[in-house]
Amino acid sequence: MVKLAVFYYSSTGTNYQLAQWAEAAAKEAGAEVRLRKIKELAPEEAIAQNPAWKKHYDETKDVPEATNDDLDWADGFIFSVPTRFGNVPSQAKQFIDQAGGLWAQGKLVNKVVSAMTSAQNPHGGQEATTLNLYTTMFHWGAIIVGPGYTDPVTFAAGGNPYGVSVSVDQDGNMIEDVEAAVKHQAKRTVEVTKKIAQG
């Protein structure tokens, strides 16, 4: 059975939802899945100033946090993170940076990786964020699996070939309908991971 870790960072819940859809689809595709949240680094007083952030923070306290053990365990990864000025959030960057020991031991080589993201508008750095995350993965020796244009659902979700991206309005609602595209990307990631892991 393919082992897939779905890592997400989410302040108000968008990327948590994307990660849950990916988890469900990967399980449906026959993978053993670990859904892991990337640890929050912001101080609680900052979180408390944003009601939506505080609500999501409290609601997901029981979701297991991502560790190096999850990176080591998995054959493949899906990352779902929002964009921060065209790059990954500092929380995700710290998690990635802590994988140096695994990288030095060659334990991240040939892991399959796919990524998803969100922003407040379609040109808010979504593609840049995904590509910036993939840059690290090239250093790991990982194998990048984007959705490309392998299914029409990609177009219905906005047409991002690097990884599903979604726009979120001021009230936190997803603008594009991306659920089917997320599930396709997750199933494609499992399919490719299976080929790599089983030789």
Q: Between vectors from CA 162 to CA 157 and to CA 167, what angle results, nearest 5°?
A: 40
pLDDT, position 66: 98
What average pLDDT does the segment 122-143 reach? Answer: 95
Among 9-18, 103-112, 116-125, which is the least confidently predicted range?
Answer: 116-125
pLDDT reported for residue 17: 98
Q: Kindly state the average pLDDT of the residues 95-117.
A: 97
Interval 75-98: pLDDT, tens: 999 999 999 999 999 999 999 999
- Give residue 199's pLDDT band: very low, low, confident or very high (50, 70, 90): confident
Mean pLDDT computed over 105-119: 97
Distance CA 114, CA 137 (A): 10
Averaged pLDDT of the chain: 96
3-state secondary structure of 81: strand
* pLDDT surpassing 90 at residue 171: no
Which of 32-36, 122-126, 146-150, 186-190 has the weakest average pLDDT? 122-126
Residue 16 · residue 89 · CB < 8 Å: no
Please say whether the dihedral angle defined by the alpha carbons of residues 45, 48, 53 and 57, taken in this order, is positive or negative: positive
Outline where DSSP puts E strands in 136-178: 143-144, 165-167
**How confident is the model over 1-53, as pLDDT tens digits?**
999 999 999 999 999 999 999 999 999 999 999 999 999 999 999 999 999 99
Assess whether pLDDT exceeds 90 at residue 122: no
Using alpha carbons, list the distances in angstroms from residue 123 to 68, 85, 106, 128, 157. Answer: 32, 11, 36, 10, 14
The reported pLDDT for the residue numbered 170 is 87
Mean pLDDT value across residues 177-184: 98
- Per-residue confidence band for 181, with pLDDT thresholds at 50, 70 and 90: very high
Of 103-107, 110-114, 123-127, which range is least confident?
123-127
